[in-house]
């Protein structure tokens, strides 16, 4: 705007309208930007453009009251640092207070403007007094440059706190391009921009703070689940890493079914959050089931009770032997030796069966039943050596869990789905429950807890299933098995591909991209990393299966499989209906 003694020309009015229209467009653009680096870059570049500045710097105020260099530009020197350039600014932050005295630092023009809360317009820094421009002058000497006019503006949020400082350097004349002081109308328009920029930066800081809090809370839950059991280690931490590695491989694919696969920045974040939450339901799983290292373990290993019973049997046999021997029975010791040896053999057999394993033969189960059925007297009561519940546990065919306990373990997925679907996720995280809740589903609808078919599951959910299985197979911290070598883990997963447990196309990508080996080299000991027959794995053909019509498949999303309905009812605080 011209002075009051001069009449505005149509050209002046047109320029003013254009500048206001540009300011409006800039405000809209700033409010829409969600990337912090791009935001600070946009603020500086638009401010430079509004007043034709050759250079500029944006400082962000830190929590400990320092002004940190976020972005620097000087067009005539080709300087472009910070922002979205990926080039760091190797300059120390400027303290707003003297670290020794605690007094406000007013010698630097940027900190002065921050303390004052007002703009500082310096026509020529070489003639200015009251500020320390010695560093600027050394820069000018080294680069054969002259830093002349400065416009420094504080960015103040809605609480009146200065959150950043914008500094522009060397305004240029619109026609001659000569360095001139920043005009009053330029200062006013950039101050308006600074006000909008402060709102945008403050909003971004709030969003970033909420995002950081959400991530920290989610990781705290995952860490608590891993810490709940010494045997799950860092499972909740490693599965997200492996899931994202496989997603990256899918995005890099140039041929095959995933050639067009791509995730936006928000979708990457959504997948990351889902991966961290994939086992959140385990917070409800009883520790004695999750940590069951032996078949008889509950809060403690009940094999100790079984040993005590056998010690009692041995003691009673010894007493009988001594009594018979005192009565003159010459064969008493021989009979006792045979009975003691039989007791010792039976106990050793039960202790071995208690450890669990890949397979328990039928004759071993029969022997456990026979041992358990034998009677002994405890006090005045006659009872079986093993009760029905102990026999049920000891005769588990694979691993250490009974069918009922396995259902409880698997039920963590019911809890995961229930918990996540109850959360009010924003739109950009709406698929977290589906991603996290589907990693135990199978391609043929025989997984749990809903029995969803592959064609109805998203690729990220199927990726998480592969990551979950591979991490579990190779983990070194499980009580019921040692970690497997790469070749053995991949062979087992090949069988799972054949049996429609895993997505065959994603598994082939997992193999051919080398993701499994890259993960192994990062997390597994060297002795477990061996050669894998990748061609044989890729050549495996999945077994064919019938796919129900869409309306039948859709029903599975509405509830859980029958065996998990009691767990669902429990999670909802009600009892399942009686049959």
Q: To the nearest whole percent, how much of the chain has pLDDT over 90?
A: 53
Facing residues of 169 across strands? 55, 150
How many CB atoms neighbour CB 534 within 10 A?
Answer: 15
pLDDT band for 262, please (50, 70, 90 cuts): very high
Per residue in 532-549, pLDDT (tens digit) is 999 999 999 999 999 999
What per-residue string of b and e applies to 251-283 under the rule 16 or more CB within 10 Å gives b? Answer: eebeeeebeebebeeeeeebbbbbbbbbbbbbe
Instruction: Give the chain's mean pLDDT.
Output: 87
Q: What is the CATH number assigned to the segment(s) 229-291+408-571?
A: 1.10.3210.10
Question: How far from 327 is each of 320, 335, 545, CA to CA, in Å?
Answer: 11, 15, 74
Question: Which H or E run contains 82?
Answer: strand 79-82
Per residue in 287-304, pLDDT (tens digit) is 777 767 787 888 778 899
Per residue in 142-197, pLDDT (tens digit) is 999 999 999 999 999 988 999 999 999 999 998 899 999 999 988 998 898 888 88
Kindly state the DSSP code that residue 5 receives in the 8-state scheme.
T
Q: Integer distance in angstroms from the first to the last C-alpha of the chain?
A: 84
Query: What pLDDT shows up at residue 230?
Result: 61
Nearest to 208 by CA among 37, 59, 79, 362: 37
How many CB atoms neighbour CB 249 within 10 A?
Answer: 20
Per residue in 207-259, pLDDT (tens digit) is 888 888 888 888 888 887 777 766 565 788 899 999 999 999 999 999 999 99
Query: What pLDDT shows up at residue 579?
Result: 33
Q: How far apart are CA 38 and CA 546, in angstroms?
A: 50
Contact 413, 279 (CB under 8 A): no
Per-residue pLDDT, averaged over 21-50, amounts to 77
What is the value of pTM for the model shown? 0.69
Every domain of the chain and the residues it spans: 10-207, 229-291+408-571, 303-400
Fold observed for domain 10-207: Beta-Lactamase (3.30.450)
Q: Which two tokens stand for residue 544?
A: 């064919």
Nearest to 427 by CA among 281, 275, 280, 264: 264
pLDDT band for 570, please (50, 70, 90 cuts): low
Per residue in 46-85, pLDDT (tens digit) is 889 888 999 999 999 999 999 999 999 999 999 999 988 8
Q: How far apart are CA 260 and CA 402, in angstroms?
A: 44
574 pLDDT above the threshold of 60:
no
Per residue in 265-290, pLDDT (tens digit) is 899 999 999 999 988 887 777 777 77
Per residue in 92-132, pLDDT (tens digit) is 999 999 988 999 999 999 999 999 999 999 999 999 988 99
Per residue in 395-425, pLDDT (tens digit) is 988 888 887 877 777 777 888 888 898 889 9
Q: Given 3-state DSSP classes, what are the helix, strand and coil percentages for the chain, each rounded to the nearest 5? A: 55, 10, 35
Region of poorest pLDDT, from 22-36, 361-375, 404-418: 22-36
What per-residue string of b and e applies to 462-479 under the rule 16 or more CB within 10 Å gives b? Answer: bbbbbbbbbbbbbbeebb
């Amino acid at each position: 705007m011209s002075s009051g003694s001069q009449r505005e020309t149509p050209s002046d009015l047109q320029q003013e309208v254009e500048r206001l229209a540009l300011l409006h467009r800039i405000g809209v653009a700033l409010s829409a930007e969600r990337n912090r680096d791009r935001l600070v870059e946009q603020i500086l570049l638009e401010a430079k453009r509004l007043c034709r500045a050759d250079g500029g710097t944006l400082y962000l105020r830190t929590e400990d009251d320092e002004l940190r260099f976020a972005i620097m530009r000087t067009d005539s020197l080709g300087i472009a640092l910070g922002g979205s350039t990926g080039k760091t600014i190797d300059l120390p932050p400027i303290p707003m207070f003297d670290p020794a005295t605690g007094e406000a630092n007013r010698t630097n023009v940027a900190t002065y403007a921050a303390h004052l809360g007002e703009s500082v317009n310096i026509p020529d820094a070489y003639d200015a007094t009251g500020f320390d421009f010695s560093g600027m002058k050394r820069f000018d000497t080294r680069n054969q440059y002259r830093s002349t006019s400065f416009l420094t503006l504080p960015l103040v949020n809605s609480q009146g706190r200065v959150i950043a400082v914008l500094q522009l350097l060397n305004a240029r004349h619109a026609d001659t391009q000569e360095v001139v002081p920043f005009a009053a109308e330029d200062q006013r328009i950039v101050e308006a921009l600074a006000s909008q920029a402060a709102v945008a930066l403050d909003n971004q800081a709030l969003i970033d703070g909420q995002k950081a809090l959400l991530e920290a809370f989610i990781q705290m839950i995952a860490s608590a689940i891993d810490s709940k059991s010494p045997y799950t280690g860092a499972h909740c931490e490693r599965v997200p890493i492996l899931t994202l590695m496989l997603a990256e491989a899918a995005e890099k694919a140039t041929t095959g079914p995933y050639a067009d696969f791509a995730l936006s920045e928000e979708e990457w974040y959504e997948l990351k959050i889902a991966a961290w939450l994939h086992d959140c339901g385990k917070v409800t799983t009883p520790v004695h089931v999750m940590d069951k290292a032996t078949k008889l373990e509950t809060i403690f290993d009940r094999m100790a009770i079984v040993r005590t019973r056998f010690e009692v049997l041995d003691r009673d046999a010894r007493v009988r032997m001594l009594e018979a021997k005192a009565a003159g029975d010459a064969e008493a010791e021989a009979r006792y030796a045979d009975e003691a040896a039989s007791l010792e053999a039976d106990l050793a057999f039960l202790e071995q069966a208690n450890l669990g394993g890949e397979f328990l033969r039928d004759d071993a189960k029969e022997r456990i039943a026979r041992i358990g059925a034998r009677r002994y007297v405890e006090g005045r009561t006659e009872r079986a050596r093993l009760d029905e519940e102990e026999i049920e546990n000891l005769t588990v065919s694979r691993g250490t869990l009974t069918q009922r306990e396995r259902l409880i373990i698997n039920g963590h997925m019911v809890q995961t789905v229930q918990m996540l679907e109850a959360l009010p996720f924003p739109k950009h995280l709406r698929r977290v429950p589906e991603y996290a809740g589907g990693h135990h589903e199978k391609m043929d609808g025989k997984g749990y807890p809903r029995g969803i078919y592959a064609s109805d599951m998203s690729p990220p959910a199927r990726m998480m299933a592969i990551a979950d299985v591979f991490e579990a197979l190779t983990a070194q911290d499980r009580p019921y098995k040692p970690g497997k070598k790469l070749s053995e883990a991949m062979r087992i997963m090949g069988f799972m591909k054949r049996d429609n447990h895993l997505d065959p196309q994603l598994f082939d990508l997992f193999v051919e991209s080398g993701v499994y080996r890259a993960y192994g080299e990062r997390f597994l000991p060297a002795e477990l990393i061996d050669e894998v027959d990748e061609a044989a794995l890729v050549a495996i053909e999945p077994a064919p299966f019938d796919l129900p019509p869409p309306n039948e498949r859709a029903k599975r999303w509405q509830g859980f499989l029958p065996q998990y309905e009691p767990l669902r009812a429990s999670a909802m605080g009600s009892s399942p209906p009686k049959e």
